[in-house]
Amino acid sequence: GCGHGGGWHQHTQWYPRLQVCCSSLGCHFLTVFCRAAQPFPSLYRSPGSGLYSNLQQYDIPYPEAIFELGFFFHNPKPFFTLAKELYPGHYRPNVAHYFLRLLHDKELLLRLYTQNIDGLERASGIPASKLVEAHGSFVSATCTVCRRSFPGEDIRADVMADRVPRCPVCTGVVKPDIVFFGEQLPARFLLHVADFALADLLLILGTSLEVEPFASLSESVQKSVPRLLINRDLVGSFALSPRRKDVVQLGDVVQGVERLVDLLGWTQELQDLIQRENGKLDGQDG
């Protein structure tokens, strides 16, 4: 049932049911989400970008080293240069984020699992109780020496001023609670054991499904549960071991979400939500 190209691909008998499922308040959407943006290594390698220029001043052996604890303890400045760029408030949620917020407003969202560290799911108005931020977030931070915990806002001024944040108690480096390579995922990630058994539909947006254990989540729902992939490429088990009820929309993620919203008859509602939320953000910026 999975094909390539810009359109929907599905077994025809399942698509109407998918539509009915989405439209009924009895449906529990489980969403795995990774924002459709440039992956960090390609952003890092984009000459001309401010981030690229800023990071070139450091002797970074390879882009991923920024998220390795050994390199961080050797030199935390490259990470904080990146953190300044990614800190909540720099970017606004897009159509895909607000679609997920709309699912929550309609009481359809069971849980949203995200690999993002930019906090845009929270910024769209989805409550923390509905989120599993598998790779952590900037909401909190921890001293790497005495392990004291701090609100992320406490270190924001330092990060924005290009200073490495220090613990007021022991002067150790304070690191935002972003999951680095080799670190354990947050305890909330274990919610997937219960969540994936309850899902009526699994929606996967804009992710390569490459990073474990996140990648295996797509196979955790029962075989009777439809899986909907909206992504640039056919990835993971959608390519390797597709299921009969899989529905795939390949191409631009935002356009794919807009098409789904249109099919569900929610376009006006979503536009109203975006306008309302942008108005609030404009007020905050002003």
Look up residue 185 and give its DSSP letter.
P
CA atoms within 13 A on the CB side of 74: 11
Check if the beta carbon of residue 111 is closer than 8 Å to that of residue 193.
Answer: no
This prediction has a pTM of 0.84
Q: How do beta strands 247-250 and 8-9 pair? A: antiparallel
Active site residues per annotation? 135
Of the candidate CATH numbers 3.30.70.270, 3.40.50.2000, 3.40.50.1220, 3.40.50.2300, the domain formed by 8-35+94-135+187-285 belongs to: 3.40.50.1220
Residues 9-67 pLDDT 10s: 554 444 555 555 555 545 666 777 654 333 344 444 444 445 556 676 787 888 788 89
Q: For the domain 40-89+136-178, what is the CATH code?
A: 3.30.1600.10
Q: Where are the domains of the chain?
A: 8-35+94-135+187-285, 40-89+136-178
Residues 207-252 pLDDT 10s: 877 777 877 888 989 998 889 999 998 988 899 889 998 989 899 9
Check if the beta carbon of residue 142 is closer than 8 Å to that of residue 149.
Answer: yes
